[in-house]
Amino acid sequence: MIDLTNKKILFVICGGISAYKSLELIRLFRKDKAEIKTILTENAKKFVTPLSITSLSQGKVYDDLFSIENEIEMDHISLSRWADVIVVAPATANTISKLSQGLAQDLASTVILASNKQVFFAPAMNVRMWEHKSIQNNLKTLKKYGYKSIGPEIGDMACGEYGKGKMSSPVKIYNEVHNFLTNQTKNNKIKALVTAGPTNEYIDPVRYITNKSSGLQGYEIAKSLFKRGFDTTLISGPTNINVSEGINLIKVETSEEMFKATQQNLPVDVAIFAAAVSDFKLTKKHDKKIKKQENFTINLEKNIDILNYVSNHNSKRPKLVIGFAAETENIEKNAIEKLTNKNCDWIIANDVSKKESGFNSEFNEVVIHYKDNKLKKEKLFLKKKSEISEEIVDRVVAQIN
Catalytic residue annotation: 159
Q: What is the spatial distance between Cα 65 and Cα 87, in angstroms, rounded to a whole number?
A: 18
Alpha-carbon 274 to chain mean position: 15
Q: Which residues pair with 366 in a beta bridge?
A: 350, 380
- DSSP, residue by residue, 122-168: EE---HHHHHSHHHHHHHHHHHHTT-EE---EEEE-TTS-EEEEEPP
Contact in structure between 185 and 229 (CB atoms under 8 Å): yes
DSSP type of residue 276: B
- Of 351, 383, 380, which is closest to residue 367 (Cα–Cα)? 380
- Of 231, 139, 192, which is closest to residue 399 (Cα–Cα)? 192
Q: What is the spatial distance between Cα 373 and Cα 124, in angstroms, rounded to a whole number?
A: 42
Residues 6+ apart with CB under 8 A from 278: 198, 199, 200, 201, 209, 210, 211, 255, 303
Burial 377-388 (b: 16+ CB within 10 A, else e): eeebeebbbbbb
Whether cis (ω within 30° of 0) applies to the bond prior to 318 is no
**Is 373 exposed, middle or buried, given 0-12, 13-18 or 19+ CB atoms closer than 10 A?**
exposed
Beta strands across the sheet bearing 270-273: 248-251, 231-236, 191-196, 270-273, 320-327, 346-351, 363-370, 373-384
Contact in structure between 262 and 308 (CB atoms under 8 Å): no
In the chain, the amino acid numbered 74 is: M
In the chain, the amino acid numbered 64 is: D
